[in-house]
Amino acid sequence: MVGIIYEITSNLIVKRVKYIRKIYILLSIIIGIISPLICLFFAKEVDITKKPLSYFALIDKTSLLWFFCLIIISFGIFWNGKEIINKYIKSRKLNLILKLVLSLSTISLIGTAIITMKFGLAHKIFALSFFLLYNFFVFLFGLFNSFSQVRQGLFSVITGSLMLLSALLIIPFPSYGIAEIVYIQICVYWNLVMFVRTNKLIRKKIINTRRKSRIS
């Protein structure tokens, strides 16, 4: 009796955690889309063609907002990325490599939020590390995923390439604000697509498991 109660309680907790995770990931995706717009609304004097997005951390009206947005996004992309890796990459070695790159990119984004532009070079190192590492994570995931699912893997490889190419927008503009916005939106799009695909895969597995249990 105690064992049955424990199992039911455990299942309820797992379901609740999964539900909270879905809501959090969706929230972080939405924040990724609207956070630059909200900051621009509160700091209309900022010209993003001349200033990087990190400049919002130096303005009193947007500093806390920008900080919390980056922190929420950091954990969102980590949580989503970890779920994606677990569902699509079955090789333990490749799984660990991707999780390491994802973890380092998440730490870099958190560092970008904490270490503002006031700290000069340190901030640039964290920001550049996130740009390169998360870009590498998406590309590498696509490469590994293409071993079993070519079409799906190709989507991530192309997305990773576009993320890297967004840096070219630095050429026509005096700052990298526009390039950052494009990079963020590509990241958000990839996370949203993979989030939807992963949840569809989970639902299919649940349905198949239930069918098998009914047959048996």
Q: What is the pLDDT of residue 19?
A: 82
Q: What domain range includes position 71?
A: 2-215
Q: Which distant-in-sequence residues (6+ apart) come within 8 Å of 111 by Cβ?
A: 126, 129, 130
| Euclidean distance between CA atoms 169 and 8, whole angstroms | 53
Spell out the long-range contacts of 130-133 with Cβ–Cβ below 8 A and sequence spacing 24 or more: 130/105, 131/167, 131/183, 133/101, 133/104, 133/105, 133/108
Q: What is the pLDDT of residue 161?
A: 94
| Euclidean distance between CA atoms 201 and 152, whole angstroms | 13
Q: What is the pLDDT of residue 192?
A: 93
Phi, psi angles (nearest 5°) of residue 215? -65, -45
| Euclidean distance between CA atoms 112 and 143, whole angstroms | 27
Q: What is the pLDDT of residue 174?
A: 78
* Per-run averaged pLDDT (10 residues), the chain, 216 residues: 60 76 89 90 88 90 94 94 93 95 97 93 95 96 91 92 90 85 93 90 70 62
Q: What is the pLDDT of residue 213?
A: 61
Q: CB-based burial of residue 104 (10 Å sphere; 0-12 exposed, 13-18 middle, 19+ buried)?
A: middle
Supply the pTM of this predicted model.
0.87
Q: Two tokens at 107?
A: 């730490």
Instruction: Report the number of distinct structural domains present in the chain.
Output: 1
